[in-house]
Structure 1
Amino acid sequence: MRQTSANELPPANGELNSGEFGVTRDGGKVFLEERARQHESRSHVFCANSFDVEEAAMLTALHASMALRWDVPAYDVPVSRRRPELHQALETKPSPARGPGKPTIGFIGLGSMGLPMASHLLKSGFRVKGFDISENALRSFADSGGTAYPDATEAASETDVLMLMVVNIDQAHQALFERGALANSTRASVVVLMSTCPPGEVEQLAEAVIARGHRFLDAPVSGGVAGARDASLSIMVAGDRQTYEMSRNLFDVLGSKIYYLGERPGQASVAKAVNQLLCGVHLAAAAEALSLAERAGLDTSTVLEIVSGSAAASWMLNDRGQRMLLEDPEVTSAVDIFVKDLGIVLAAGSSARAALPLASVAHQFFLAASGQGSGSADDSQVIRAYRGMTAGQKEAKK
């Protein structure tokens, strides 16, 4: 096996950059990138026989520094063949501010879900650079210990992974392309879209990202604000399997249930559409049931207690039911979010040639509530649409 010459290795210890990952980074990166060009292959799929054992050891260390789960075995270099200046650098202790192998994350979208998600990554030792169009969101993120930027391009600069938790696919396009985040992400090898978006449009976005030399994961979440706050989200992921495995440590920080749906971006978004179909229909049905009790003159709190403990119960009823009885509850997810999400559900059904009559009716009630001026109200206030249908009518006799 060919041995490396002294001038092929990175500079001696005095000139090596140990960096914030706690291992030699810049010198090793340049060295391995050159070796990659020589072998005409990406560094993460090099075979051991392409290197001598010392090069393989340095490759392993570099991949550890990138904090991604590269499929490269660790090699123990025999003492007789070690270069002291190289191994002294590799054995440098990690920075106390960050654990070894933690990537830098760019997080775009620091709203009611994005902010707690980004905060969990910070608490787990990742460096997180955040962007949001809201100044209040940026201040809250900075108060959590993150580095806030007023521009998506700056937040994406020199990041390893770029995560998006935005309102819709248009905002994702704006952040990545119009605001220049993707072009400035020189090290953002993985773009992770965690928003609820139309499956077909997610697939198109993935193609555009991949065409620019980046990786892409379709990774919508379920669990709402509560799940984001306590890191118990269900995360559905689709995309290149190796990229998913490399990024799994990030998902483990944010959720309690992680599901891999397949190689094609958009597949996870279809699964999320199925989830939102049930959520929307259950929520509309709960509102209809409680509006019936209300209209009939029953004590709605008592009725809610009865049905919540019966076979009629659902997660949405138990979570939203009490808020339906309040005049203006705190907003955890807005009516207009379900207008959007059920629109995505219906588009997915049309694409699959699947009839979705219940989803269609539920969508109409969310549209009605929004049209009445409740679009920014908590989604439990879809009950206002039912009340609006009977406004001015006499109540039934008690």
Structure 2
Amino acid sequence: MMASIQSRSVAMIGLGSMGLGMAKSLLGAGHIVSGYDVTPAAIDALSRAGGRAGANPADAASGADIVIVVVVNAAQTETVLFGASGVVSAMPKGSVIISCATMAPDAAKSLAQRCAEQGLLYLDAPMSGGAARAGTGELTFMASGTPDAFAAARPALDAMAGKVYELGDEAGIGASFKIVNQLLAGVHIAAACEAITFASKLGLDIAKVYEVITASAGNSWMFENRVPHILDGDYSPKSAVNIFTKDLGIVSDIGRSETFPLPIAASALQLFLMTAAAGMGRDDDSSPARMIAQITGIDLPPAKEH
């Protein structure tokens, strides 16, 4: 598609399954997109889609109106922003950073303040929806920031989002909403893995269990989405176990600092940690089912190579 009058120069830092899909949505909306990733194959994929490959984050962000940072955590976000070849040094004053990593609210507030000191806008905008919705421009963003940050980010958000929740006028609020979401997501995946392996232990046809539960009150979005990975033996990482050791770890840290009990989230965290310790940290986050199967001796569909 040719760039329209409303097109913007957008840089995407982080071209994994989410970032690449988001970049393609931006290109499809007529924006001029550059990008960078530490993985050469990801940069090549952006180039094939019509984007410009940057030599490093600063090169990708040079002259960009909007820089979107889709990395794993606060530490990586800080490096992308302020490290060697960081984007902050290359961005025009008044341009906006859309920060999408799941992080503690205090980390988001700190990054926003440091960006403001450099004359840059910062939108705290973690998202949900998965790789498929990233590629179709239907993500949900849980965003907070100043009115100016929202206004500057809007052209990119319109291309990437099915829904944008405007949750407050300061960074950290969006991060807090995402942490609540991740508590539930992690608990629901853990429960799905426990339930489907328990069904196997009871001698049930787990494909039939999936059919029945998805039509019953015990269903959840995560059960419906993740159990097919187990049925197919496909543990290639759509979302990895280590994502939830990180995110539920943040939940745990906040609970401890607030003297707030989180017993169910803590149990889910331990299940993901056990799975990571068993060597499956980089595998799909449905892998706790495999770990349970291994220690209990039950049979699941064999895992495919990936």
Classify the TM-score, shorter chain. over 0.9
Q: 1:246 to 1:156 in 2, by over 3 A?
A: closer
Of structures 1 and 2, the larger Rg is shown by: 1
User: How far apart, in 2, do the equivalents of 1:296 and 1:310 lie?
Assistant: 19
- 1:355 & 1:245 partners in 2: Cα distance? 38
**Superposition pairs for residues 121-140 of structure 1, below 5 Å?**
121-140=26-45
Counterpart CA distance in 1 for 2:170 and 2:273 is: 32
Secondary structure of 2:159's counterpart equals helix
> Structure 1 counterpart of 2:174, which letter?
A
Residue in structure 2 matching 1:245, options 151, 166, 173: 151
Matched letter for residue 244 of structure 1: F
Check whether the contact 1:199–1:270 (CA below 8 A) recurs between aligned residues. yes
Aligned residue for 1:32? none
* Aligned counterparts of 1:107 and 1:255: Cα–Cα separation in 2: 15
Query: Out of 87, 111, 115, which is 1:205 matched to?
Result: 111
Q: Distance in 2 between matches of 1:135 and 1:347?
A: 34
Contact 2:98-2:153 within 8 A present in 1 as well? no
> Does the aligned pair in 2 maintain the 1:366–1:385 contact within 8 Å?
no
1:183-240 superposed Cα distances (whole Å, 9 cap, x missing partner): 1113561111011122111111111111111111000001111221222111011110
Is it true that 1:230 corresponds to 2:146 in the alignment? no
2:219 to 296, 304, 313: 313
**Paired residues of 2:25 and 2:159 also in contact (CA < 8 A):** yes
| Equivalent residue letter for 1:219 | A
Return closer, same or farther for 1:192/1:125 CA change in 2, 3 Å cut-off: same
Task: Give the distance between the partners of 1:146 and 1:289, measured in 2 at CA.
Answer: 43
Partner of 2:252: 346
The 1:242/1:181 distance shift into structure 2, 3 A limit, reads closer
Structure 2 counterpart of 1:261: 167
**1:390 positional shift:** 1.8
Q: Which residue of 1 aligns with 2:287?
A: 381
Asked which structure has the greater RCO (Cα within 8 Å, sep 6+), the reply is 2
Shift in Å, 1:249: 2.8
| Structure 1 contact 238–266 (Cα < 8 Å) conserved | yes
Q: In the alignment, which of 44, 51, 55 is matched to residue 150 of structure 1? A: 55
Q: Any unmatched runs of 5+ in structure 2?
A: 299-306
* Counterpart residue number, 2:6: 101
* Residue 325 of structure 1, aligned match among 214, 231, 240: 231
- The 3-state SS of whatever aligns with 1:325 is helix
The aligned residue for residue 75 of structure 2 is: 170
* Counterparts of 1:232 and 1:287, CA distance in 2: 27
Residue identity matched to 2:254: A
Name the counterpart of 1:160.
65
The two structures, once aligned, show a CA RMSD in angstroms of 1.7
- Candidates 85, 91, 116, aligned match of 1:185: 91
Confirm or deny: 8 A CA contact 1:199 1:348 kept in the other structure.
no
Give SS of 1:379's match: coil
Partner of 2:179: 273
Equivalent pair of 1:241/1:262 in contact (CA under 8 Å): no
Could you tell me which amino acid in structure 1 is paired with residue 53 of structure 2? A
Structure 1 spans left out of the alignment, 5+ residues: 1-95, 393-398
Instruction: Give SS of 1:277's match.
Output: helix
Deviations 1:131-164 (A, max 9, x none): 1111000000000000011211111111111110
- In structure 2, give the amino acid aligned to 1:305: E
Secondary structure, aligned partner of 1:217: strand
Distance 2:40 2:106 in 1: 32
SS of 2:187's equivalent in the other structure is helix
> Relative to 1, partners in 2 of residues 1:188 and 1:127: Cα closer, same or farther, differing over 3 Å?
farther
Partners of 1:133 and 1:150 within 8 A in 2: no
Aligned to 2:304: none
The match for 1:215 is: 121
Letter in 2 for 1:129: S
1:47-81: CA deviation from partner (whole Å, max 9, x where unpaired) = xxxxxxxxxxxxxxxxxxxxxxxxxxxxxxxxxxx
State whether residues 112 and 225 of structure 1, in contact with CA within 8 Å, keep that contact through their aligned partners in structure 2: yes
- Count matched residues: 298
* TM-score, normalising length: structure 1: 0.72
